[in-house]
Amino acid sequence: MSIRSLMTSETIGEPLSDSRSAQLTGHLSGVTGGQVYPASLTVAHRAIFFLLRVGVVKTLGVITGHEIPAGLTGSISTVSIDGESLTLCLSPLDTQNAVAMRRLFPYLVAQTLGLRKSAGCGDRLGLATPGHLRAIRQSTMAPILAQQSIRENARTGRTPQQVMDEAMWGIFENGWRGGFGADADHLKSTADIDVCAAAGFTFYTIDPGEHVDNEANEAPVEVLRQKIGLLPWPELETTWEETRQALGSSPVDLGDFSVTLTEEDLLRAAAKYGWVVAHTVKMYRHLAMVKGDQPFELEMSVDETETVTTLAEHIYIAHELKRLGVVWVSLAPRYVGDFEKGVDYIGDLTAFEESFRRHLAVARIFGPYKLSLHSGSDKFSIYPIASRIAGELVHLKTAGTSYLEALRAIAVVNPALFRRIVTFTRERYPVDRASYHVSAQVERMPDPETIGDGQLPDLLEDFHAREILHVTFGSVLHHPDFREPFFTTLREHEQIYYAMLEKHFGRHFAPFDESARAIGD
């Protein structure tokens, strides 16, 4: 079969066989002088599309016997393969070409995932998507591959559009056609929504944490009544009497059990979360207006707050959001125990299981919607519990753990750089920890100067080192002594990084897959 014979159809062809892919990879590497990624080879629109790399720079290649598809820009030349004279276009991985690729390949457009069991794979570097997909391919999880908070964007110097584009190019490199979501994470304002909607995000995590009244958790009843009087009742479109009548006049049926909410339960729930509900409704309605007829999904998160979300408080939140017309796909309460960054769950697993089971009952009755595990990275002890209880109604959200795996790769291939980064992070930690829930202590972190090069990756297994390295990512990535060598090292050794991500995320996903297989059996 000649190469020109592949360029006859306008439709998107099936993935090539291994033998055909290997043959084309050889031809295209020869004419471009670059390393072609075989999984990216795609026959469509009377052309062959592929991703290649020269040095550490990646480029989109398109070769055809016809015109280059509209919208793509780049350098054009004539090449010969097997005696065929063909047109080659080498295009930079910029936003303009990303827009064109999304038009040509619908599976490169972020979509909504609905109630499918899902995993958010945050990527603060814009390099991790191919590694994430290696793990996803062996999993039953639906992927969210473009996930970044506004806070993380500020600390990494990226924009929502860059996050989206870099994830898309990683998807194309890997040849993934199974669909993906895009999470605009921890949004606090309508301006946050606007910039993320413009970039094409489909999953919007509203973070009303600053509107939680944590004092209401233990305030006396007379103080709660005062707080209730100050709630924005016009925005809530109800009154305290109507709220008490709706939720306190009879037991709330949660399927296998029912819950009777006392007046104090409701006073505490409304005082603590009334402003949260009002803010979430405002954000949702703005999002619906901005998105128009484009599909989107909402997640509401109150996980990064000081006090645990009780069952009564979850019921109040869900009831009020539903009454006010909000449609959401997942919710992240503040669970019992501690979900610190980059380390396993800290707390009583039996207490977590009982609490999670009861929270899921609320999610089933008032939704159904998924329970979201925020700061979900590395919480290996609770994954089997969450999977067994929730089934498909669970969303696992990870972020910083991919950055930690990048540091692991650097520790292996560039130990001198890793040592310098560790020394710097020990100095920065007292400042950078301020906006995170962590308990690591610098004095309890192993001194890297006492560790040989071969043992440096073991630092990533230490509780204190993981948290210290995790929360200082912004300072490292902004530092002129670290940023360029950090990215260059990872790009030069990307396959090592991908392999580490595949292994690490495989550990995250396996408990959810095992439960799925057990249900199938």
Residues 473-520 pLDDT 10s: 999 999 999 999 999 999 999 999 999 999 999 999 999 997 555 544
Residue 130 CA: distances (Å) to CA of 137, 171, 443: 11, 7, 36
Put simply, whether the predicted model's pTM sits higher than 0.85 gets the answer yes
3-state helix, strand, coil in the chain (%, to 5): 50, 15, 30
- Mean predicted confidence (pLDDT) in 354-365: 98
Q: What type of residue sits at position 19?
A: S
Whether omega for the bond prior to residue 457 falls within 30 degrees of 0, making it cis, is no
Alpha-carbon span 324 to 300, nearest angstrom? 14
Q: What are phi and psi of 418, to 5 degrees?
A: -60, -45
Confidence of residue 521 (pLDDT cuts 50, 70, 90): very low
Confidence at residue 520, expressed as pLDDT on a 0 to 100 scale: 47
Strands 35-36 and 47-54: antiparallel
Q: What are phi and psi of 161, to 5 degrees?
A: -65, -40
Q: Is residue 325 left, alpha or beta, with left meaning phi > 0 and alpha meaning psi from -120 to 50?
A: left
Residues 385-428 pLDDT 10s: 999 999 999 999 999 999 999 999 999 999 999 999 999 999 99
Confidence at residue 335, expressed as pLDDT on a 0 to 100 scale: 97
- CB burial string 166-177: b at 16+ within 10 A, e below: bbbbbbbbbbbb
Confidence at residue 514, expressed as pLDDT on a 0 to 100 scale: 77
Tokens of 138: 């062996």
Residues 256-311 pLDDT 10s: 999 999 999 999 999 999 999 999 999 999 999 999 999 999 999 999 888 999 99
Residue 357 CA: distances (Å) to CA of 259, 324, 329, 362, 448: 14, 26, 18, 9, 42
- Mean predicted confidence (pLDDT) in 188-207: 98
Alpha-carbon span 318 to 483, nearest angstrom? 43
- For the residues of 456-491, what is the DSSP string, one character each? GGGGGGSHHHHHHHHHTHHHHHH-TTTHHHHHHHHH
Q: Which of 319, 225, 228 is nearest to 281 (CA)?
A: 319
Element housing 245 (H / E): helix 240-248
Query: Catalytic positions, please?
Result: 185, 299
Strands 118-121 and 142-149: parallel
Alpha-carbon span 189 to 128, nearest angstrom? 28
**In the chain, % of residues over pLDDT 90:** 95
Confidence at residue 82, expressed as pLDDT on a 0 to 100 scale: 87
Q: At what angle do helices 263-291 and 311-323 cross, to 10 degrees?
A: 40
Task: Give the start-end residues of each E strand in 122-273.
Answer: 142-149, 181-187, 203-206, 252-253, 258-259
Alpha-carbon span 318 to 142, nearest angstrom? 25
Q: What are phi and psi of 214, to 5 degrees?
A: -65, -20
Alpha-carbon span 231 to 368, nearest angstrom? 28
- For the residues of 343-400, what is the DSSP string, one character each? S--BS-HHHHHHHHHHHHHHHHHH---EEEETT-TT-TTTHHHHHHHHTTSEEEEE-H
Residues 433-447 pLDDT 10s: 998 889 999 999 999
Tokens of 326: 């909000």
Confidence at residue 205, expressed as pLDDT on a 0 to 100 scale: 98
53 Cβ neighbours under 8 A, 6+ residues apart: 34, 35, 37, 59
Note the Cα 213 to chain centre separation in Å: 27
- Mean predicted confidence (pLDDT) in 99-128: 98
- Mean predicted confidence (pLDDT) in 65-75: 96
Strand partners, 81: 84
